[in-house]
């Protein structure tokens, strides 16, 4: 969902806004000395642009993974909520009630979204037994993965985690499984960026 209340999933691939580019630069500045071992990114333009500043500062080339892309809204891509409700009324109500099992018209369920993104998480866990790996993805994707990792109903992904744009969440994998260390931290952003409406 964009700031203008437009459904913007993986079927819409706009460039990063000027504010988004500023957030990416501020993230890069804030974490330039952080010891990331690797960076993984969605293939969409807005995520690759978000990863670029920290990539340049760290010297790490982002590894692009299709499974990290945003949710697929199908026929709803680029439409506002009101228009979707009018054109796809029953599908919309089912999706609102339980997106884990009911997809947008022609799109994907939250379970499918979490499932594909978790494949990347498993790849990272197999390749990196220790250290910090940065994953640059999208709001719906991040929230669905966090729900799946922490045993929360994926169908509630929009209502269990608030992950505003430009935020950083940290999950640590230990002997007892995934542990949420940090949720949606934005301390690396300037006050002006943190206060943006809809961000």
Instruction: Give the model confidence (pLDDT) of 93-148 as tens digits.
Output: 999 999 999 999 999 999 999 999 999 999 999 999 999 999 999 999 999 999 99
Q: What is the SS3 assignment for 174?
A: strand
Q: What is the pLDDT of residues 37-96, one digit of tens each?
A: 999 999 999 999 999 999 999 999 999 999 999 999 999 999 999 999 999 999 999 999
CATH of 18-194, one of 3.40.50.1240, 3.30.70.270, 3.20.10.10, 3.90.550.10: 3.40.50.1240
What pLDDT is stored for residue 163 in this prediction?
A: 92
Q: Please tell me the pTM assigned to this model.
A: 0.94
Q: What is the mean pLDDT of residues 181-195?
A: 96
Query: How many Å apart are CA 82 and CA 84, to the nearest integer?
Result: 5
Please report, for residues 36, 38, 120, the alpha-carbon distance to residue 128 in angstroms, rounded to integers and kept in the order given: 11, 9, 12
Q: Which residues contact 146 (CB under 8 A, 6 or more apart)?
A: 152, 157, 160, 161, 163, 169, 171, 180
* Residue 100 near residue 71 (C-beta atoms within 8 A): no
Q: What is the DSSP letter of 144?
A: H
What pLDDT is stored for residue 6 in this prediction?
A: 80
Delimit the domains of the chain by residue range. 18-194
Question: In the predicted model, is pLDDT for residue 157 greater than 60?
Answer: yes
What pLDDT is stored for residue 11 in this prediction?
A: 80
């Amino acid at each position: 969902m964009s700031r203008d209340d437009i459904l913007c999933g993986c079927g819409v691939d706009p460039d990063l806004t000027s504010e988004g580019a500023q957030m990416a630069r501020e993230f890069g500045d804030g974490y330039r000395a952080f010891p990331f071992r690797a960076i993984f990114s969605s293939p969409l333009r807005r995520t690759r642009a978000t990863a670029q500043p920290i990539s340049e500062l760290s010297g790490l080339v982002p590894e692009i993974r299709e499974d990290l892309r945003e949710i697929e809204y199908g026929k709803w891509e680029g439409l506002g909520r009101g228009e979707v409700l009018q054109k796809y009324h029953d599908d919309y109500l089912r999706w609102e009630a339980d997106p884990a099992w009911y997809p947008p018209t022609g799109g994907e369920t939250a379970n499918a979204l979490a499932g594909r993104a978790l494949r990347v998480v498993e790849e990272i866990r197999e390749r990196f037994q220790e250290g910090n790996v940065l994953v640059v993805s999208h709001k719906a994707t991040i929230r669905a993965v966090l729900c799946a990792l922490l045993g929360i109903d994926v169908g509630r992904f929009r209502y269990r985690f608030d992950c505003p744009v430009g935020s950083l969440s940290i999950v640590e994998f230990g002997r007892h499984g995934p542990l949420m260390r940090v949720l949606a931290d934005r301390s690396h952003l300037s006050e002006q960026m943190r206060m943006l409406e809809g961000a």
